[in-house]
Amino acid sequence: MRLLRTAAQLATMAAVAAVLSACGSKDEAQTVTPVPAGAPSPTPSAAGGNTIAVSASDTACTLDKSAISSGPVTLKVHNGGTKVTEVYILKGADGTSGIVTERENIGPNTDADVISELAAGSYQISCRPQDSTRINTGLTVTGDGASAAPTSASAASAVAGYRAYVAQQVHHTIEATEDFVAALKAGDLAKAKSLFATSRAGWEAIEPVAEAFGDIDPKVDTREADLESGQTWTGWHKIEKVLWVDGTTKDMGTQGDDLLAELHILQSRVPDAEITPTSMANGAKELLDEVATGKITGEEDTFSHTDLWDFKSNLDGAKKVYELLKPLVKDSALATTLATEFADADKALDKYKDGSGWQDYSKVDDAGRKALSDAVNALAEPLSKLAAAVVST
């Protein structure tokens, strides 16, 4: 989960964007193209489902209805405020049971669609203007209480395949993190540094699933700049700072044990994770947003500069979703475009291979970052259409 940026982070991102813009980059992955108020959104609504108009502003988050029936839903968001905002669908009457889906970086006077599938229950629609707290509005979903189950054999196969993939990636993450923690406990600074990026690879490939549980992600993947008031900093990035800035492994073994404990909790929850074709497609888009808003700017792995490792994992995770959902995509032009753009993004990243790993991202110059940004932007636009393409299957 990526919280809205602090003023300092936004300034840094703006500087990077200015450099890319000067080179001719279209920053489509980081912003939504503004459209006139009241104009139709470019993304189709969930076929046969519910539509909710969400009016976001700097101080409000209002819905045109407070109750809908279970199944597909499209939030038609208009940000009428002066600040960039984010919109979340949160599970539970108090919104603390996890994230169903999210849409980041919705600019002022901008429209955006958020497509999902909701089972019966209580939810919160949450808007979060820049540098502000969340503004939540309740939503009741009625029905038989069942999860939005796939309605075709192809959809069921895609969900089963993705659940197996998630379980595999969590397993690999635990194994790699065990080696990382062993190096921390042995006081082997060089080895611990060499294992930091690989320990995170599986996690980065399936992070939207972990975010859906709500309580795990903040404990394992929060960056220093995203800490909230009173929050205890734990997880990979806390260890990263100590290794690279303090140059020591002291007391990090305990931190590593806590990290592993959270990963084992995640592993135990995967079998019960709510997964649908739509949530898979939304998760793939979120992974690309992770690249566009964190990896490209270099703010993800601030101390180790191992951002390209995470970039690759995010891209691989999104590609896996596309491969599983491809049989459900009836739009052949969209399928062809996605296949081409994934290949182009891989090609752009492959220039920075370093043996079996990836180069230090701080050494990638502005032209290189622009090329990566262009590849992500070109992929993000068609990928944003995937949820609507599979929601009715």
Rounded to whole angstroms, the Cα distance separating 258 from 116 reads 33
For residues 322-343, give the mean pLDDT.
Answer: 95
Evaluate whether 139 touches 63 at the Cβ level (below 8 Å): yes
Rounded to whole angstroms, the Cα distance separating 273 from 265 reads 12
Confidence at residue 295, expressed as pLDDT on a 0 to 100 scale: 84
Evaluate whether 93 touches 105 at the Cβ level (below 8 Å): no
Closest C-alpha to 325, from 273, 276, 289? 276
% pLDDT > 70, the chain: 84
Confidence at residue 172, expressed as pLDDT on a 0 to 100 scale: 97
Give how far the C-alpha of residue 208 lies from the chain's centroid of Cα atoms, to the nearest Å.
5
% pLDDT > 90, the chain: 59
Q: Which domains does the chain have, with CATH numbers?
A: 32-142 (2.60.40.420), 153-390 (1.20.1420.20)
pTM score, two decimals?
0.77
Query: In the numeric block, which tokens belong to residue 97?
Result: 């049971």
Phi, psi of 356 (to 5 degrees): -90, 5
Sheet holding 135-142, edge to edge: 67-69, 135-142, 121-129, 85-91, 99-106
For residues 325-339, give the mean pLDDT.
Answer: 94
